[in-house]
């Protein structure tokens, strides 16, 4: 049954009630466009020069587990800055599409300030957990997927029976309706597409996803209890958390 949250979903699709979600999308998009990864900034050069600039960019703003516990206070900020850094167009667009739909829904339920703190806090903890588990690794972790995993977990906890209209690329983008618990795992499959799009493409940090999703689901259960609400929303599909081998 569609209740008042159905009207809420319509407002969110029209961009009227989720300023934090749309602000996060805009920030990630802007950061990507001015970065050496987008290919739009000629200041970074081409060829090997561009690759070197990209590697330096990921090392500076991403999470390098072996550096996180080196005693450098600046390194402790890396899990926060890494949330706004993405490794490719597919990585960025995939994450932002899922944030657009599910983030707006969760933000409307939580409220703006609470959602902003939830997003950054869970995203930070997800990346930090990955770094703890791989303390000796020199791989750089970038992307908002830890935070978005938390949003997906919260959405599943808050709206477990929501029916989502999804566009599946392998089904010629036909709009099909599925329960949210069916659509969300599809996000995991799409991470593989983002992870293996190139020979030197980044890998997927599944631990960060698992931690983020678990934190989001737990927070929704503790904070809002067992009061699920049904809603119909629209959704597009996309990428995943990434690790880039800085030694390559």
Q: What is the pLDDT of residues 21-31, one digit of tens each?
A: 999 999 999 99
Q: Which residues contact 207 (CB under 8 A, 6 or more apart)?
A: 129, 130, 133
Coil, strand or helix: which one is 41? coil
Q: What is the DSSP letter of 205?
A: -
Q: What is the DSSP letter of 6?
A: H
- The percent of residues in the chain predicted with pLDDT above 70, rounded, is 67
pTM: 0.77
C-alpha distances in Å from residue 2, one per residue of 7, 10, 47: 9, 12, 53
Q: Name the pLDDT band for 240 (thresholds 50, 70, 90).
A: very low
How many CB atoms lie under 10 A from the CB of residue 109? 20
Which of 130, 150, 141 minimizes the C-alpha distance to 241? 141
How many CB atoms lie under 10 A from the CB of residue 165? 15
Cβ proximity of 164 and 184 under 8 Å: no
């Amino acid at each position: 049954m569609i209740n008042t949250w159905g009207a809420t979903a319509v407002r969110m699709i029209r961009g009227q009630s989720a300023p934090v979600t749309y602000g996060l999308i805009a920030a990630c998009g802007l950061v990507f466009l001015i970065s050496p990864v987008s290919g739009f900034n000629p200041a970074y050069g081409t060829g090997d020069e561009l690759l070197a600039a990209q590697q330096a960019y990921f090392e500076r703003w991403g999470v390098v587990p072996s550096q996180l516990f080196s005693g450098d206070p600046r390194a402790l900020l890396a899990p926060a800055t890494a949330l706004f850094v993405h490794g490719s167009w597919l990585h960025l667009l995939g994450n932002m599409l899922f944030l657009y739909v599910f983030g707006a829904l969760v933000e409307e339920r939580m409220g703006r300030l609470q959602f902003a703190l939830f997003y950054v806090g869970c995203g930070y903890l997800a990346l930090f957990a990955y770094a703890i588990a791989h303390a000796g690794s020199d791989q750089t972790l970038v992307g908002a997927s830890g935070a978005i995993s938390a949003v997906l977990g919260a959405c599943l906890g808050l709206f477990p029976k929501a029916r989502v209209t999804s566009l599946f690329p392998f089904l010629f983008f036909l709009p099909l309706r599925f329960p949210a618990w069916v659509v969300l795992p599809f996000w995991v499959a799409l991470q593989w597409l983002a992870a293996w799009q190139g020979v030197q493409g980044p890998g997927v940090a599944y631990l960060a996803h698992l931690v983020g999703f678990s934190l989001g689901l737990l927070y929704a259960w503790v904070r809002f209890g067992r009061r699920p609400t049904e809603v119909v929303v629209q959704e597009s599909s996309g990428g995943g958390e990434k690790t880039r081998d800085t030694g390559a």
